[in-house]
Structure 1
Amino acid sequence: MLEQAVRPIVEAIVAKAPSGWTRAVLHGRAGRGGTSVTGEYAPRSGNWNDRVPNPYMELMALAETLRAEHGWEPVSLEIVCRPSGEYRLVAFNDAISRVTGTGGGFQVVLDPDHRLPQPGLHQEPGTAAPAGDPELAVARFRAYLERRAAILGHPDELPPPATVAAIEEAERRLGRPLPADLRALYLIADGDGIEYENRYLFQGNAWLPLKSIVAEHTDWSAGERPWFGWDLEWDAVVFDATPAGTVRRCGGHPGWLRFATSEDGNYLAVDTAPARSGRPGQLIRTGRDYDDGPAYVADSITSLLGHYLDLLDQGAYEKNGDHIHLREPARDPAPQQIIGAIPDEVPPTLQAIHINDATGLVDLAPLTAAPSLRRLHLNRSTTADLTPVRELPVESLRITLDGGDLTPLRGHAHLASLDLTTTAPAYLTPLHTAPPARPRPLRSRHPRPGRPGRPDGPPLPLPHGTPVDRPAERGPRAPRSRRRPPGRRGSLPRRRARLGGPPRPRHRERPPRHRHPQDRRGVSRGPVVTLCDLCALGKQATPVTGGPVVALFRVVDRC
């Protein structure tokens, strides 16, 4: 069965090969979600068509075969073939997969069922009373409908009101009551749509009937944040809304009840579980375009209806057929993200900065003026001192470090993901002492300006399983017996001890040595970190922090 599934893929690779080729390599992933392929023919000619094809149907058939035989979903694979038709297939479960895009390398998922905890779940809850007033909301809603009827020349046709019993049943299924002002509106009309025609009363958003609110809440897994896989989620950050501290820093929350939709994957929701400075029943935007965090809209539906009336009184609207679009006033919010250089005056509201193509070393000291900075990415830019990061709540850090000193990150309470490029070997011990709220994914790269072993190049790559550089202050290693415990080989126990965790008990079997098919020697890009070093790091950290779940690293070419 497997031979029959692989042969059509090899035939497709051979059929698309350029003249003069001697070898082709295809790296891919395939499963129920589709396929992704990278790879090329050798020798390379520099043409865009040197890339191997993506035989979608054949890869899906191979994935189905492997799923049936081994239960793998999805699968990662490597196919190497030659003009003679000879090929080699290596397929494995998705614990290890190739990373495409900038940086490349391989991804190791130690716990595929783990999900990043959302920081907002641990925020202090709000204690203020709701701002909504059901009687005032009803009066404003009726006045809003009257103004619309005067502009359109006819009243809006709305569905009949929901019954008290229907509202109570919906609240039971939602697991929480509706805000009083929203509840009062449903006693006027059960949404604004009749069959498939909506009136879009909430500024281009269709008001959902009760059954749709319940369905959205159920289909959305009770408010959990959508999961897009470790490829996209390993360095995810959720930002604070404006005003700060009003909405929980979550991509989704069970207390967010979606009651209106713009029909593009985005929603208006009432927030029944606000953060410290928020109020129950406040309105937020959430959905497809708000994975980085929700947007604050108003403190209640009552206030939002009052705002709509003000815009109509000011004539700030446009009529388009049977629909009215309200023109919101221009706003100049304080900047929360900067792309480019560090400005002379760093705004205190800054939460993310991407520093691109800086000349010379970047001084990070001015960023200490941004007490809410959570994402700091240096793209094609280098810094020599991470000390300013120590005092910042940075969760996602991408840097090229002149040298390999990570000491300033020791004990960092917020750092959750690190994309590191160094000009020298980096010792990872400072990262073990940080107490992050979630496991710490790693991505490491070590530039190689010269060939290994030359004076202008980095040290020779270490063999698989060799420990990373030892810090000088540890001194010489103590003498030890050359006799190895039964069933143990290599230096993994010593490496675990040096990383801070105890060696494994002697009676336990040695874990399998992890190797990617392309990494025959099993070495990392310079003596920075090896795959087994990362596995040991994850297992060592488990009792303390849950262990880093994802490690991204690069593998050297064969020497």
Structure 2
Amino acid sequence: MVERVARRIAEEIVASAPEGWTRAVLASTAGRGGVSVSGDYTVPGAPGRHNLVPSPFGELTTLAEAVREIRGWASSSLEIACRPSGEYELVAFSDIITSLRGRGGGFQAVLDPGYRLPQPGVEQGEDTAAPAGDPEQAVARFRAYMERRAAILGRPEQLPPPASAAALDEAERRVGRPLPADLRALYAIADGDGLGIEHRYLLGGNAWLSLKHLVSVHADQRERPWYGWELAWDSVVFDADPSDTVRRCGGHPAWLPFASGEDGNYLAVDLAPARNGRPGQVIRIGRDYDEGPAYVADSITSLLGHHVDLLEQGAYETDDDYLSLLEPARGFGPRRIIGEIPATIPPDLQAIHINDAVGPVDLAPLTAAPNLRLLRLNRCATADLAPVRALPVESLHVTLDGGDLTPLEGHRDLTALDLGTTAPIDLAPLRTVPNLRGLDLSRADVRDLTVLADLRDLRYVALTARQWTVLLDEGKAPLTLAAARLADDDAPLDEALTWAARLGLNTADAFRTTGTLGTDGG
């Protein structure tokens, strides 16, 4: 089966080839989670990105299923290489080695599948304030809210029966903590706002979840989603506004989603706030908040008061028998600038992407941004990292045109560094960066790569094949690595398997098959 499907894919690649091609490579990760496809034809004198290979998703799914029957891999990394002569080769391995063609280039190898990078919010100070919510006031505001809605709509809105005390107790047992008193009091009025599949969307356009649904969503949202090392190694969780009210986490067991926008986003009560927050405060989490949660209100009680105020202000609209609140415009996500350094730096700036600047970029103006967490220079360079010394930058993507890494000595916040250079550079200052966990040196000319062996908490490294060879030949690959990247975009999967084996992965059961089109052999 594998040979037959691989042959069909090779036939499609060859049949779609452009004039003058000399080689084609299709790379795919395929399995129960879906299929990705990348790759191109090599055409001398023509840029590869304009000569993309076909994307036979169905046949690649069939191929992955056939490989799974042989090897047992739930998902496979597949590479099919073809030549005009009709010769083709399939190489397949478990997706612990993944092609990054078109997404940074090269291959990624996962050495410790169970490791996850720590979230900065885990170390944040805890609050000492009492909850701001009040169950009696919350009930009074909810009833006033429903009465005002009924007056606007010309009829009362039907809600489900209340949740029983036993159901509330069971929900609290399953989520592992008590509900805020004001939220519990609302569930004693109604078990959400849904009747069957119909919701009233009472909470600012969000469907109020039943207790059963709250428990189910909490189980899914209690941890930060893991999208793999490709995205995670240099990612940042930003601070909410007001600062230090919500932990800088992508997910937390003490966040209880109680309302849904039905778009992957939720309102949640936060039972473990940061030092400036209040237990039971309302936050936004979910699909659009991977970079950090958003603060909404200090309690359910305050949220309901806000909803009543909007009705009194006439900030609503009706459509048939539905009423929608018109919320004031809110900022979305962290304060971010893309393009160039502005003349006036917003003090709440947390991320800046400087693009295509002419000449070395002077980073000194950024010292006016005391909350800057992410700094990226794209297709431009700087000669001096001194301004970064005093900033809480955690993710730094930079090209150095002269200068050195001395300003980063002892930098306690830096966790990820993507470094390019125009001249050889000394990595020794990185020995004193205590929380550095991710490092991409594939764009850098490094004097002594063996310094990496001294970085005791390094979990991810990206290097070119030449750099990896130097490091591995010296026996100085960091022992703490959980993932690594071979950065050469044109490296074949076979080369990546050899590299991964030198890092300690067992690649002996890689699957290979070859054939020549136009013959009966496979």
Q: What TM-score comes out, normalization by structure 2 length? A: 0.86
Please, which runs of 5 or more residues in structure 1 have no aligned partner?
447-457, 459-467, 471-494, 503-518
In the alignment, is residue 297 of structure 1 matched against residue 235 of structure 2?
Answer: no
Tell me which moved more, 5-14 or 300-309: 5-14
Shift of 1:323: 1.6
Equivalent residue, structure 2, for 1:417: 416
Match of 2:229 in 1: 230
Cα distance per residue 1:157-180 (max 9 Å; x no partner): 011111111111111111000000
Whole-Å separation in 1 of the counterparts to 2:86 and 2:418: 40
Give the alignment's Cα RMSD to 1 decimal: 2.9
Provide the rounded CA distance (Å) in 2 between the counterparts of 1:379 and 1:551.
20
Aligned to 1:439: 437
Question: Retained in 2: the 8 A contact 1:404–1:424?
Answer: no
Distance 1:18 1:341 in 2: 40
**Contact 1:24–1:40 (CA<8 Å) still a contact in 2?**
yes
* Whole-Å separation in 2 of the counterparts to 1:425 and 1:134: 64
The Cα shift of 1:289 comes to 0.4
Q: How does 1:211-290 map to 2 (within 5 A)?
A: 211-220=212-221, 223-290=222-289
Aligned equivalents of 1:68, 1:336: Cα separation in 2: 49
- Code of the residue aligned with 2:139 in structure 1: it is V
Within 2, Cα distance between the matches of 1:81 and 1:139? 72
Structure 2 alignment gaps of length 5 or more: 457-462, 493-522
Partner of 1:553: 487
Q: Percent of pairs identical after alignment? A: 62
Secondary structure (helix, strand or coil) at the match of 1:324 reads: strand
1:387-402 aligned at under 5 Å gives the runs 387-402=386-401
Query: Which segment is superposed worse, 291-300 or 67-76?
Result: 67-76
Counting only pairs closer than 5 Å after superposition, residues 324-363 of structure 1 correspond to structure 2 as 324-330=323-329, 336-363=335-362
Over 3 Å counting, the alpha-carbon distance change for 1:123 and 1:557 in structure 2 is: closer
- Offset at residue 277 of structure 1 (A): 0.5
CA contact (8 A) 1:403 1:425 kept: no
Corresponding position of 1:205: 206
Q: What is the rounded CA distance, in whole Å, between the counterparts of 1:74 and 1:93 in structure 2?
A: 6
CA distance in 2, matches of 1:533, 1:297: 49
Q: Does 1:39 align with 2:19?
A: no
Structure 1 stretch displaced more, 422-431 or 357-366? 422-431
3-state SS in 1 of match to 2:361: coil
CA contact (8 A) 2:246 2:274 kept: yes
Q: Distance in 1 between matches of 2:166 and 2:452?
A: 64
1:42-86 deviations in whole A, cap 9, x for unaligned?
A: 324459762211222222233223333334343323322222321
Q: Which amino acid aligns with 1:440?
A: G
Question: Matched residues in 1 for 2:176 and 2:465: separation?
Answer: 52
Q: Is the 8 A contact 1:132 1:281 kept in 2?
A: yes
- Partner amino acid for 1:216? V
Aligned to 1:155: 156
Q: Which has the higher strand share?
A: 2
User: CA offsets, 1:149-198, max 9 Å, x none?
Assistant: 10000001011111111111111111000000011111111111111111
Q: Does structure 2 retain, via aligned residues, the 8 Å contact 1:439–1:549?
A: no
3-state SS of the aligned residue for 1:389? helix
Amino acid at match of 1:444: S
Give the letter for the 2:138 counterpart. Answer: A
How much has 1:94 moved relative to structure 2?
A: 3.3
**Offset from partner CA, 1:442-488 (integer Å, 9 cap, x none):** 25225xxxxxxxxxxx9xxxxxxxxx634xxxxxxxxxxxxxxxxxx
The residue that corresponds to 1:191 in the other structure is: 192
Q: Deviations over 1:279-337 (max 9, x none)?
A: 00100011110000011000011111111111211222212221222223356899821
Query: 2: distance between equivalents of 1:536 and 1:217?
Result: 48
Counterpart in 2 of 1:321?
Answer: 320
Q: Deviations over 1:66-114 (max 9, x none)?
A: 3333343433233222223212333333344332346423334332322
1:89 aligns with 2:87: no
Quote the offset at 1:368 in angstroms. Answer: 1.6
Cα distance in 1 for residues equivalent to 2:289 and 2:183: 23
* Cα distance in structure 1, aligned partners of 2:403 and 2:13: 42
For the 8 Å contact 2:250–2:292, the answer to whether it is kept is yes
User: Quick one: distance in 1 between partners of 2:292 and 2:455?
Assistant: 36
For 1:331 and 1:88, how far apart are their aligned partners in 2?
A: 54
Which whole-Å CA distance do the structure 2 matches of 1:146 and 1:130 have between them?
27
C-alpha distance in 2 between matches for 1:435 and 1:46: 42
- Per the alignment, residue 477 of structure 1 pairs with none
**Tell me, what secondary structure is at the counterpart of 2:478?**
helix
Q: Describe the superposition over 1:1-27 as per-residue Cα deviations: whole angstroms up to 9, x where unpaired.
A: 543342222111112112343322223
* Further displaced range: 56-65 or 260-269: 56-65
- Displacement after TM superposition at 1:34 (Å): 2.2
Moved more, 83-92 or 304-313: 83-92
Please give the alpha-carbon distance, in whole angstroms, between the structure 1 residues aligned to 2:433 and 2:451.
18
Shift of residue 497, structure 1, vs aligned partner: 8.0
Deviation of 1:245 (Å)? 0.5
Distance 1:233 1:292 in 2: 11
Distance 1:69 1:532 in 2: 36
Aligned to 2:17: 17
Q: 1:8 to 1:365 in 2, by over 3 A?
A: same
Cα distance in structure 1, aligned partners of 2:212 and 2:474: 50
Quick one: distance in 2 between partners of 1:433 and 1:182? 47
Distance 1:332 1:228, change over 3 A: closer
Given residue 76 of structure 1, which amino acid in structure 2 is its aligned partner? S
SS across alignment from 1:540: coil
Spell out, residue by residue over 1:318-370, the C-alpha distance to the aligned partner (whole angstroms, 9 max, x if none): 12221222223356899821112212232221110111111111111121221
**In structure 2, do the counterparts of structure 1 residues 501 and 406 end up closer, same or farther at CA, with 3 Å as the change threshold?**
closer
User: Does the CA-based 8 Å contact 1:340-1:355 persist in structure 2?
Assistant: yes
1:121 paired residue number: 122
Q: Contact (CA 8 Å) 1:161, 1:190: kept in 2 or not? A: yes
Q: 1:143 to 1:236 in 2, by over 3 A?
A: same
SS in 2 for 1:131: coil
Aligned counterparts of 1:182 and 1:421: Cα–Cα separation in 2: 51
Structure of higher CA gyration radius = 1
3-state SS of 2:145 partner: helix
Equivalent residue, structure 2, for 1:482: none
Query: 1:165 corresponds to which residue?
Result: 166
What's the CA shift for 1:428? Answer: 3.2
The one-letter code matched in structure 2 to 1:144 is Y
CA distance in 1, matches of 2:120, 2:144: 41
Amino acid of the structure 2 residue aligned with 1:187: A
> Match for 1:239: what amino acid?
F
Structure 1 residues 48 and 352 mapped into 2: Cα distance closer, same or farther (>3 Å)?
Answer: closer
Where do 1:466-477 residues align within 5 Å?
469-470=447-448
Does the residue aligned with 1:274 lie in a helix, a strand or coil?
coil
Structure possessing the higher relative contact order (Cα contacts under 8 Å, 6 or more residues apart): 2
Query: CA distance change for structure 1 residues 230 and 169 in 2, over 3 Å: closer, same or farther?
Result: same
In structure 2, do the counterparts of structure 1 residues 260 and 557 end up closer, same or farther at CA, with 3 Å as the change threshold? closer
**What letter matches 2:447 in structure 1?**
D
Contact 2:30 2:36 in 1 (8 A): yes
The 2-side partners of 1:335 and 1:168 are apart by 37
SS in 1 for 2:289: coil
How many aligned positions are there? Answer: 486
Check 1:270–1:313 CA distance in 2 against 1; reply closer, same or farther (3 A cut): same
Residue 530 (str. 1) matches residue 508 (str. 2): no
Q: Please list the CA deviations of residues 498-557 of structure 1 after superposition, one character each: whole Å capped at 9, or x if unmatched.
A: 84489xxxxxxxxxxxxxxxx9xx843xxxx32563898985363xxxx46344633689
Aligned-pair CA distance for 1:379: 1.2
Aligned partners of 1:404 and 1:422 also within 8 Å: no
- In the alignment, the residues of structure 2 paired with residue 258 and residue 18 of structure 1 have an alpha-carbon distance, to the nearest angstrom, of 53
Which amino acid in 2 is paired with 1:27?
Answer: A
